[in-house]
Structure 1
């Protein structure tokens, strides 16, 4: 299952109601076969601009980030359900890219640039390209005349 981050803005409410809202959000993920890897509370803070959702204008919100693993088809269902939830002001799902395993050794970094693998590849690419400053007119190009005066 791919990994996602679910960023949510939940309306201002007491902690008891906030707990029930978070349980409802979590159960929706669990009911669809998802796994919650972590929940990060970013706190209660003012919104950058006032926003209206479900007929109310909100100026402050509780910010949460859920790190979840779930099937790709489930993401649309979760967005739809959270869009109907009156306690959720905004939600957005981000796909988490897998970290590439970049191996870097100190020996490679300490080599002079001409001996590094990446620089050698760039030099090879540069040799295959035509330099526009050193390009000369070919006399056997099929033109009957030299367009520039000698």
Structure 2
């Protein structure tokens, strides 16, 4: 099964109502054959713009992020059941990307710039570009043998 992230925007409610809404959302995930890895509270606050949902205009909301595993064939059913919930203002489901592996180059980053390989490569490229003249001398297209405006 793949890992997904679902950011959810809930309307402003009491703590117990918010917990009940999250429980309903978790049950919807469980019904589709998925299981939850993490629920993260991202806080409450004003929305950047007014959002209407289920016939109500919302200016404030509570943000949550759910990380879960679910079969890809059941995502549409999950999204439909979360959309029907009156307390959920907005939600999306994103496939979580695997973290990219990178090579730690701390020993190179600590060196002074003159001794770094990437800085030396940039200097060489600058020297090559300096030899090439990309700029042409400006030509006055007035047809006169002098420049009529003051310099």
1:2–1:45 distance in 2 versus 1, CA, 3 Å: same
Structure 2 match to 1:103: 103
Displacement of 1:100 in angstroms is: 2.9
Q: Distance in 2 between matches of 1:48 and 1:38?
A: 26
Cross-structure match for 1:13: 13
Distance 1:71 1:49 in 2: 34
- Tell me the distance in 2 between the aligned counterparts of 1:49 and 1:106: 42
- Structure 1 residues 79, 105: CA separation in 2 closer, same or farther (over 3 Å shift)? same
Q: For the Cα contact (< 8 Å) 2:34–2:71, is it kept in 1? A: yes
Q: Encode CA deviations 1:76-117: one digit per residue, 9 max, x unaligned.
A: 111111111111000011111112333346678889749xxx
TM-score (norm 2): 0.68
Contact 2:9/2:61 (<8 A) preserved: yes
1:6 is displaced (CA, Å) by 0.3
Indicate whether 1:40 and 2:32 are aligned. no
Contact 2:28 2:82 in 1 (8 A): no
Q: TM-score, normalised by structure 1?
A: 0.68
Distance 1:8 1:73 in 2: 21
* Unaligned stretches of 5+ residues in structure 2: 122-151
> Residues 102 and 58 (structure 1 numbering): CA distance in 2 closer, same or farther, change over 3 Å?
same
Change (3 A) 1:106 1:77: same
1:107–1:27 distance in 2 versus 1, CA, 3 Å? same
Q: How many residues align?
A: 125
2:92 — aligned with what? 92
Q: Distance in 1 between matches of 2:24 and 2:64?
A: 14
Q: How large is the Cα RMSD of the aligned pairs?
A: 3.0
